[in-house]
Amino acid sequence: MEWIIYIGAVMTSLVLTKFLPSYMSEKAKNIATKEDIEEITKKVENIKKENQIELSKIQGTIDIKIELERLKSKNTELYFQKQLEAAKKLYKLRSKILPNYRMPNMDWDDACKDIAHSFEEIEENIESYTIEYFSVLSNDIINKLNSAKQNAAIGKFEDPESSESSELADSVWKKIDEANSELKSYIELQTHNKSLERNI
């Protein structure tokens, strides 16, 4: 029986010296690995949350920029529509100033005298046009219209048949015609640019 105790003691000693340390070491590794995995998982989850917050901020910024561009485009389109309307009305005003051909040998002097007879109406028409469309007209166009209006205002006190009235009428016509050409060119340029943008 002693030999059983001896064998038991040897076995216990072997287990304690050989197997138990490696078992405990492996168990400790597993516990450490499990703790490491939990810590890594927490870190990964935190990084995911931070990235999601950052992505939400970026998406919000992008959405705001898209909305601003949409509004800008809409405002630009409305502005262009108003300019187009202004160009049509200016052409109509120009056409209204130019007198009808009323006699076979009618020349520019005759036309200027007809314009001179309408100075008061021309002044009022230019004034109301400028008030309605000043926000979409360039300063140069407004200056030309104001010059035409001023000449019509001066001319309404002159004899419509006088040479001074004819000179003022000629000036009124030229300023209106220049303003009309300038606005038309600007609209054509914008239309050309818009068509280029659509093709890009």
The model's pLDDT over 34-76, given as tens digits with 9 standing for 90+, comes to 666 777 778 778 888 888 888 788 888 887 777 777 767 666 7
Number of domains in the chain: 1
> What percent of the chain is modeled with pLDDT above 90?
46
CB 134 within 8 A of CB 86: no
Structure tokens at 60: 């919000």
What mean pLDDT do residues 162-171 have? 95
| Residue-averaged pLDDT of the chain | 83
138: confidence class by pLDDT, cuts 50, 70, 90: very high
Alpha-carbon dihedral sign for residues 18, 23, 24, 29: positive
* Structural domain that includes position 50: 2-199
Q: What is the dihedral of CA 23, 28, 33, 35, to 10 degrees?
A: 150
With CA atoms as reference, report the closest residue to 121 among 100, 144, 149, 91. 149
Q: Which residue in the block uniquely carries the two structure tokens 């469309």?
A: 133
CB 182 within 8 A of CB 141: yes
Q: Find all residues with CB under 8 Å of 156, minimum gap 6, and list them.
A: 119, 120, 123
Cα–Cα distance for residue pair 28/165, rounded to 1 Å: 111
Q: What is the pLDDT of residue 173?
A: 96
